[in-house]
C-alpha cells in the first residue's frame, strides 16, 4: 500500500509541475542553467564510457567470432546494433540516473530541509513548477543529443579497438556497420531516451521534494532516488522494447 501511495503522490506532483511558469524570463534563465548542470557537465563521462564500451563490444565479438565460416563483418554489425539498441540509450541513462539523479534529489532535498521551498510557497510561487519543470525540459531536450553522441562514439571506439589490436580489419568493420541499416532503430533509441530522460528528471525530484528531516535524510533520499530511477528505467526498457520492437 505504501508503494501505491508514493505512485499516487508522484503523479499528483506531475500535475503541479507542468503548470504555466509565472515569469518566462526567470524560467528561460533557469532552463539554460539546468541544461548546463544536467546536460553539458554530464557529456564528458558519457563520451568516455561510450567510446570504451564500443571497443569492448567489438573486441569480445571478434574473440568469439573465430570460425573461418563466420564473416568478420559481423563484428561491426554486432557493435552497431548493440550501441544503438541498448548501450547508447539504456546504459547511458543508467549512468545519468546515478550522476544526475543524486544531484537533483540532494539539491531539492537540501532546499526542503532548509525551508527554502517553504519560503517559495509563502511568496505564492509554484515551487514544483519553478524547481522541476526546467530540469524536466532540459533533460528532454538535451539527452537525445547525448545519446546520439554516445552511439557514434561507441561505434568509433569499436573501429579503434580493431585498429589497435589487429583482431579485424577496418574494411570488414565498416561493411558490418553499413549492413542492413534500419533508421527505425535510431528512432527507437531516441524514443527510449526521451522516456528515460523524463524519469531521470522527475523521480529524483519527487524523492528530494518530499524528504523530511535533516541532512541524513537528504542523503538517504538521494540514494533511494538513484535506486528507484534505475529500477524504473530497467522496467520501462523492457516494456518499450516489447512495444516498439516486438
Predicted local distance difference test score (pLDDT) of residue 51 = 93
* Nearest-5° Cα angle at 85, 79 to 91: 90
Predicted local distance difference test score (pLDDT) of residue 194 = 95
pLDDT, average across residues 191-212: 93
Predicted local distance difference test score (pLDDT) of residue 180 = 80
Predicted local distance difference test score (pLDDT) of residue 245 = 83
Give 191: exposed, middle or buried? Use CB within 10 Å, 0-12, 13-18, 19+. Answer: middle
Whether residue 130 is predicted with pLDDT greater than 80 in this model: the reply is yes
CB contact at 8 A, 80 and 176: yes
CB contact at 8 A, 109 and 6: no
Predicted local distance difference test score (pLDDT) of residue 8 = 87
pLDDT in tens, 88-121: 899 999 999 999 999 999 999 998 988 888 888 8
Whether residue 5 is predicted with pLDDT greater than 60 in this model: the reply is yes
Q: Domain segments of the chain: what residues? A: 3-245
Go through the chain and tell me how many residues it has: 246
pLDDT, average across residues 223-232: 93
Mean pLDDT for all residues in the chain: 88
Bigger pLDDT: 26 or 98?
98
Kindly provide the residue ranges of all beta strands, DSSP E only, lying in the chain, ordered along the sequence.
Answer: none
pLDDT, average across residues 30-50: 90
pLDDT, average across residues 172-194: 89
pLDDT in tens, 139-162: 999 999 999 999 999 999 998 988
> Which cell numbers hold the place of 117?
521551498
Least confident of 69-73, 145-149, 176-180: 69-73
Least confident of 70-74, 76-80, 114-118: 70-74
Kindly provide the residue ranges of all beta strands, DSSP E only, lying in 77-183, ordered along the sequence.
Answer: none
**CA–CA dist 52, 32 (Å, integer):** 30
pLDDT, average across residues 171-200: 90
Whether residue 1 is predicted with pLDDT greater than 60 in this model: the reply is no
Bigger pLDDT: 181 or 185?
185
What's this model's pTM, rounded to 2 decimal places? 0.90
Rounded to the nearest 10 degrees, how much is the dihedral formed by the CA atoms of 44, 52, 225, 124? Answer: 20
* Nearest-5° Cα angle at 219, 206 to 193: 45
Predicted local distance difference test score (pLDDT) of residue 212 = 87
Kindly provide the residue ranges of all beta strands, DSSP E only, lying in 110-217, ordered along the sequence.
Answer: none
Query: What do you get for the CA distance between the two ends of the chain, in Å?
Result: 32
Amino acid at each position: 500500500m505504501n508503494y501505491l501511495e508514493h505512485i499516487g503522490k508522484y503523479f499528483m506532483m506531475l500535475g503541479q509541475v507542468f503548470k504555466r511558469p509565472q515569469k518566462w524570463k526567470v524560467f528561460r534563465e533557469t532552463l539554460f542553467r539546468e541544461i548546463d548542470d544536467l546536460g553539458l557537465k554530464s557529456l564528458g563521462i558519457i563520451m568516455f564510457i561510450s567510446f570504451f564500451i564500443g571497443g569492448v563490444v567489438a573486441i569480445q565479438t571478434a574473440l568469439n567470432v573465430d570460425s573461418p565460416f563466420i564473416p568478420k563483418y559481423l563484428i561491426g554489425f554486432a557493435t552497431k546494433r548493440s550501441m544503438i539498441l541498448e548501450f547508447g540509450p539504456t546504459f547511458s541513462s543508467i549512468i545519468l540516473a546515478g550522476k544526475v539523479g543524486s544531484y537533483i534529489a540532494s539539491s531539492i532535498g537540501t532546499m526542503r530541509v532548509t525551508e527554502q521551498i517553504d519560503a517559495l510557497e509563502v511568496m505564492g510561487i509554484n515551487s514544483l513548477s519553478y524547481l522541476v519543470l526546467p530540469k524536466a525540459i532540459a533533460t528532454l531536450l538535451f539527452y537525445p543529443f547525448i545519446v546520439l553522441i554516445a552511439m557514434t562514439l561507441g561505434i568509433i571506439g569499436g573501429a579503434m579497438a580493431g585498429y589497435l589490436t589487429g583482431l579485424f580489419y577496418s574494411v570488414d568493420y565498416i561493411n558490418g556497420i553499413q549492413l542492413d541499416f534500419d533508421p527505425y532503430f535510431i528512432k527507437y533509441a531516441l524514443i527510449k531516451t526521451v522516456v528515460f530522460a523524463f524519469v531521470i528528471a522527475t523521480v529524483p525530484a519527487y524523492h528530494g521534494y518530499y524528504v523530511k528531516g535533516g541532512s541524513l535524510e537528504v542523503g538517504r533520499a538521494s540514494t533511494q532516488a538513484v535506486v528507484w530511477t534505475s529500477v524504473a528505467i530497467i522496467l520501462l526498457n523492457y516494456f518499450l522494447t516489447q512495444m516498439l520492437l516486438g
